[in-house]
Chains A and B, each alone.
Chain A
Amino acid sequence: MPYTEATLQLLSVDGVLVESDRTEQHRALVDALSEQQLRDFYREMVVTRRFDIESGNLQRQGQLALWVPSLGQEGAQVGSAFATREQDTIFPSYREHAIARIRGVDPVAILALLRGHTHGGWNPNDSRFRLYTIVLSSQALHAVGYAMGTAMEGKSGTGDVATDEATIVYFGDGASSEGDANEALVFAQSYQSPIVFFLQNNQYAISVPVVRQSRSPLYQRGEGFGIESYQIDGNDVLISYAVTKLALDDARSGKGPRFIEAQTYRLGAHTTSDDPTKYRDSAEEEMWKTRDPIARFDKFLRAKGAQDAFFADVKQEGEDLAADVRRRLLEHTPPTIDAMFDHVYTDEHPLMIAQKAWLVDYEASFGGDR
């Protein structure tokens, strides 16, 4: 299956650290992590999965129009998110819920988007976690432009990794075929922009298997553009952390863009409107469950001495979050007419003023009977 000889891995599917010459640098980064940091990795994966399940329930109960699960992809997301530095900017696709949470975005803001209250939901200038982008790979070009600007401002490549900025953009195996993904790679390499392309290969673009997007491993796409590229076990949170951290530091140091293909699997559906039984068999799903990022990290932490109380505590945190987001979602204020007209333009616009005034008057003419 998709793990190849090129696939970098630190934590085996059995939760045991793997020795390899190719991962010495990565191992050193992981060895430097504190017990608390390792536990945070676990906590974020588990709590986000619980949030994910609760969100699916909310959709089934008619409280969300749609849900986009990240189930199974927590390792790739949590590891790479913890690899970012505070000054880094993240351009997500639309399934990066774990990363959003780690960067301080309120999970209810994500649910508000899927409840039909907003197309955005949070201020990206607060979190440096940009808004979700629905059209595949559009954000790859935005991210490259942002990174080009970083370099122009001299905010990268000064040699101080503590302050130099980098950008990371998330996209997927399906999105890799879009023209914008390829143009983004051209611009990034041409301008040697401080950016990391993080491709979560979850094996399917809704129903179409990755082999339809590419006959060769996707990390070779990056190499084809002359970009240093890696393939990692995306369900290994430790390698995701270490490879992304080195790639971001290379990028911020002015060494040019980097490309990471994380081999992972969407254990759930593409969205709640999808039915995976129509295009993949249960044997494949069962096989990927054995590679689950949380299960193997659970074993790893227990072997390091984590006690039941810790795991119970994390589980409770997930339950608390689920209850909290459910409560706050149901209380979330729906948008008004203002939201439709007020921010189409930044500067005053006569048509927006006229059409909004007309609609307000029209609605008022019913005297509240509508």
Chain B
Amino acid sequence: MTENLSLAKAINRGLQRAMQDNDRVLLMGEDIGTLGGVFRVTEGLKNEFGENRVLDTPLAESGIVGTAIGLAMRGFRPVCEIQFDGFVYPAFDQIVSQLAKLTSRHQGDQSFPIVIRIPYGGHIGAIEHHQESPESYFTHTSGLRVVSPATPNDGYHMIQQAIQSNDPVIFFEPKARYWPKSDVDTDGTSAPLHQSRVVRTGTDVTVVGHGAMVAMLLDAAEVAAGEGISLEVVDLRSLSPIDYDPILLSVEKTGRLVVAQEAPGGTSLGSEIAATVAERAFYYLEAPVMRVSGFDVPFPPAHLESLFLPDVDRILDAVDRARGY
């Protein structure tokens, strides 16, 4: 069946489906039960599954992840919600020092199938700590898998795949994309969780991004097409591990790559992709890999966010620079 859903609703439906399929799946987080979460992603689930499977936890992020680890040791599959990107740091130690290392510490005796959902990114004009893009902290940490859906259809399927994964998954939800609706195929299957995907074919420049940036790249491609420039757009979907094959194939064709992200550029996901493509596709490149990113400053007050965040013009500026070689 095909339904027209927002990303928030699609993830809600994916969670519902995962909980129906497996009674060891449970949700934990702040305000996720009675309220349904501040973005309503878990709306209605406490009513359907009860307070033993949708836990309104005490307000303590380390506590949420730490107790989820204990629940996983008992065979549960907890899905934790961190209310906002900037609130994940109190849980950072439990994620990085415990969750990410526990599978290795146990040498095969114990799995940790925990999903940590994090609404992330800007474009919502919010106060400090509510618009950040902390992906790189987690992609730098071995033992974690990191993914981000860009569309409602991916949101519906990828949340279920993340829950089925036997490894910890950090699930970044682009909150700028929570509300626009598009078709979700609730019967069909989706691409594997860790596959990247060409979402628009083109011949001149490859542009790569994830989350809310994918829609921005598609807008940029539309504008560029009007100017006679053909962009190929790749949706990363998986940030760790990165599926490089579609990117490399695309670069072999276009010879030019622009990597776009909201996060600051230094030591970031974009840097990693640029380095890897330079190593693996050097002779195909006609220009250096260009990064479009937020600046290396704290996320600014909302009045300045449009200057901080990459937009269509900044993407096209990078495209022009790449084409200038």
Interface residue ranges, A against B (CB under 8 Å)? 118-120, 123-125, 130-131, 133, 135, 138, 140-150, 152-153, 179-180, 183-184, 186-187, 190, 339, 342-347, 349-351
Are A138 and B111 closer than 8 Å at their CB atoms? Answer: no
Residues of A within 8 A of B167 (CB): 345-347, 349
> Is there contact, CB below 8 Å, between A342 and B108?
yes
User: B residues 121-141 with Cβ under 8 Å of A?
Assistant: none
Chain B nearest Cβ from A187, distance in angstroms: 5
Question: How many whole Å from B140's CB to the nearest CB in chain A?
Answer: 13
Specify which of B69, B104, B105, B142 is in contact with A145 (CB 8 Å cutoff).
B69
Cross-chain contact A135 with B109 (CB below 8 angstroms): no
Contact of B106 among A131, A140, A143, A184 (CB under 8 A): A131
Inter-chain contact B241/A141, CB cutoff 8 Å: no
A144 to B67, CA, bound (A): 6
CB-based A-B contact count at 8 angstroms: 129
Among candidates B57, B94, B142, residue contacting A187 with C-beta atoms closer than 8 Å: B57
Q: Is the CB of B60 within 8 A of A125?
A: no
Contact B143 A183 (CB under 8 A): no
Beyond A124-B110, A141-B63, whether A343 also contacts B103 by CB under 8 A is yes
Complex Cα gap A186–B113 (Å): 24
Q: Is the CB of B68 within 8 A of A145?
A: yes
B106→A141 contact, CB < 8 A: no
Q: Which residues of A contact B71 (CB under 8 A)?
A: 145-146, 148-149
Residues of B within 8 A of A (CB): 26, 52, 57-58, 60, 62-63, 65-76, 90, 93-94, 97-98, 101, 103-113, 142-143, 145, 165-167, 194, 241
**Among candidates B104, B113, B165, residue contacting A119 with C-beta atoms closer than 8 Å:** B104
Known pairs A131-B106, A141-B67, A343-B104; A146 contacts B58 (CB<8 A): no
User: Which residues from B are CB-within-8-Å of A190?
Assistant: 58
Given that A148-B67, A148-B71 are contacting pairs, would A120 and B94 also be in contact in the complex, using a CB cutoff of 8 Å? no
Q: Which of B65, B106, B241 contacts A350, CB < 8 Å?
A: B241
Which one of A187, A342, A351 lies within 8 Å of B63 (CB-CB)? A187
Known: A124-B110, A346-B167. A152 touches B52 (CB 8 A): yes
* Residues A142 and B66 in contact in the complex (CB < 8 Å), given A135-B97, A345-B103, A346-B103: yes
> Beyond the given A141-B69, A146-B73, could you list 16 further A-B residue pairs with CB under 8 A, ordered by the A residue number?
A118-B107, A130-B73, A135-B93, A138-B66, A141-B66, A141-B70, A145-B74, A146-B71, A149-B71, A149-B73, A149-B76, A150-B74, A183-B62, A339-B107, A346-B166, A351-B241
Of A123, A183, A349, the contact of B109 (CB 8 Å cutoff): A123
Q: CB-nearest residue of chain A relative to B101?
A: A119
- Chain B residues positioned under 8 Å from A143 (CB to CB): 70
Q: Does A183 lie within 8 Å of B103, measured CB to CB?
A: no
In the bound complex, residues from chain A placing their C-beta under 8 Å from that of B103 are: 343-346
- A346 touching B70, Cβ below 8 Å: no
User: Which residue of A is nearest B65, CB measured?
Assistant: A141
Given A190-B58, A347-B165, check contact A149 B70 (CB 8 Å). Answer: yes
Most buried by A among B73, B101, B113, B166: B73
Residue of A nearest to B109 (CB): A123
Is there contact, CB below 8 Å, between B66 and A180? yes
Output the nearest chain B residue to A355 by Cβ-Cβ distance. B142
Specify which chain B residues have a CB less than 8 angstroms from the CB of A184 in the assembled complex.
Answer: 63, 66
Alpha-carbon separation in the docked complex, A48 to B106 (Å)? 25
Chain A nearest CB from B100 CB (Å) reads 9
A10 to chain B, nearest CB (A): 32
Q: Nearest Cβ distance between residue B105 and chain A, in whole angstroms? A: 5
Indicate if the CB atoms of A124 and B109 lie closer than 8 Å. Answer: yes
Q: Name which residue of chain B comes closest to A151, CB basis.
A: B52
Interchain CB contact under 8 A, B70 and A343: no
Chain A residues whose C-beta falls within 8 Å of the C-beta of B63 in the assembled complex: 141, 180, 183-184, 186-187
- Chain B residue, CB-CB nearest to A188: B67
Chain A residues, CB < 8 A from B76: 149, 152
Shortest CB–CB separation between residue B68 and chain A, in angstroms? Answer: 6
Q: Which residues of B contact A131 (CB under 8 A)?
A: 105-106
Most-contacted residue by chain A among B57, B66, B145, B167 (CB, 10 A): B66
The answer on a CB contact under 8 Å between B66 and A145 is yes
Is the Cβ of A142 less than 8 Å from the Cβ of B73?
yes
Residues in B whose Cβ lies below 8 Å from that of A125: 109-110
Task: State whether A120 and B70 are in contact (beta carbons under 8 Å apart), knowing that A138-B98, A183-B60, A347-B165 are contacts in the complex.
Answer: no
CB of B65, distance to nearest CB on chain A (Å): 8
User: Can you name 18 A-B residue pairings with CB atoms under 8 Å?
Assistant: A118-B107, A120-B106, A125-B110, A142-B98, A144-B66, A144-B70, A145-B70, A145-B71, A146-B70, A149-B71, A180-B62, A180-B93, A183-B60, A184-B66, A339-B107, A343-B106, A345-B103, A351-B241
